[in-house]
Amino acid sequence: MYRVPFAFSFVVATLASAALQVDRMQCEHRIDPLDVDTATPRLTWTFQADPKTPHGQRQTAYQIQAASQQNMAKADLWDSGKVLSAETVLIPYAGKPLRSDMDCFWRVRVWDEKGEESPWSPMAQWSMGFLDAKEWTAQWIGLPVEDGESPAPASYLRKEFALAAKPIRARLFITAAGLCEPLVNGKTVTDDVFVPGWTEYGKRMYYRSYDVLGQLKAGPNALGVALGDGWYGLKHGGRGRTRILAQLHVELADGTKLRIVTDGSWLGTR
């Protein structure tokens, strides 16, 4: 008569000790974003309990670590320490100052209501965009439109360049007055469509960032862009106004850093 209650209480005690598991980590509402342009990014996560655990398990504290290296040998950007809080949404970064076009790697662990510590989460990442508009060193470029061409046909712009070695990091930043499709060595860099997206052109221009490391090689390379009117052409009549602004930042293993930017050296055709 007494075996069942004893076994039941043992199982409950064992299940209740299961630690929380952190998942769905986001920075500024996105998973591993490449173009965060705020000096104080906000971090969010969720957690899961073992489905067999009794109800009521909750977070009571967290610890965030952020580093400039993916191996997290040292949390050289930020270590929050143990923070007594149930908050999991939009926690502001409070570490060392961030700079444009840098990679940041972060992880979280949490504690539940019984003081049980979770494992560290899988590593997540965010990368910085531009914190200052002055860091755009590229020039707006585009092809003129012949009289009577409305809407204008698509234009194709291209820049060839050489790399002494295969890069270890490559990030493309691009925007357009119009819609564009960026290509590296003849292949599109994204499945995104309508890049860079609709905006109120008189107030702001959005840009996109892409990791193009896998498409570059040692030796000759080419960065190309197909450019069309899009909404910009409809708004402004397509009278020679469509253009692009792009910067490709490349880093080699020896520390060499290169910038391929839109300027007067690009070639173009329709």
What pLDDT digit, counting tens, does each position of 208-253 carry?
A: 999 999 999 999 999 999 999 888 866 554 444 789 999 999 999 9
What pLDDT digit, counting tens, does each position of 35-78 carry?
A: 999 999 999 999 888 777 667 788 999 999 999 998 888 899 99
* pLDDT mean over 100-125: 94
User: Is the pLDDT assigned to residue 166 strictly greater than 80?
Assistant: yes
Query: Measured between alpha carbons, how far apart are the two ends of the chain, in Å?
Result: 88
What band does 5 get if pLDDT is binned at 50, 70 and 90? very low
Residue 75: half-sphere exposure toward Cβ, Cα within 13 Å:
14
CA-based nearest residue to 63, from 42, 84, 41: 84
What band does 110 get if pLDDT is binned at 50, 70 and 90? very high
Question: In Å, how far from its chain's centre is CA 35?
Answer: 5
Q: What is the pLDDT of residue 148?
A: 55
Q: What is the pLDDT of residue 2?
A: 40
User: Is the pLDDT assigned to residue 150 strictly greater than 90?
Assistant: no
* pLDDT mean over 89-94: 98
Burial of residue 114 (CB within 10 Å: 0-12, 13-18, 19+) is exposed
Q: What is the pLDDT of residue 18?
A: 62
What band does 197 get if pLDDT is binned at 50, 70 and 90? confident
Cβ atoms of 226 and 183 within 8 Å: the answer is: yes
User: Is the pLDDT assigned to residue 196 strictly greater than 60?
Assistant: yes
Please enumerate in sequence order all residues whose Cβ is within 8 A of that of 21, keeping only pairs 6 or more positions apart, or say none: 47, 48, 49, 118, 119
Q: Is the peptide bond before 151 cis (omega within 30 degrees of 0)?
A: yes
CA-based nearest residue to 225, from 166, 164, 178: 178
Burial of residue 67 (CB within 10 Å: 0-12, 13-18, 19+) is buried
- Domains of the chain by range and CATH? 20-127 (2.60.40.10), 136-269 (2.60.120.260)
CA–CA dist 54, 57 (Å, integer): 7
At 146, which amino acid appears?
A: E
CA–CA dist 156, 224 (Å, integer): 7
Q: What is the 3-state secondary structure (H, E, C) of 202-226?
A: CCCCCCEEEECHHHCCCEEEEEEEE
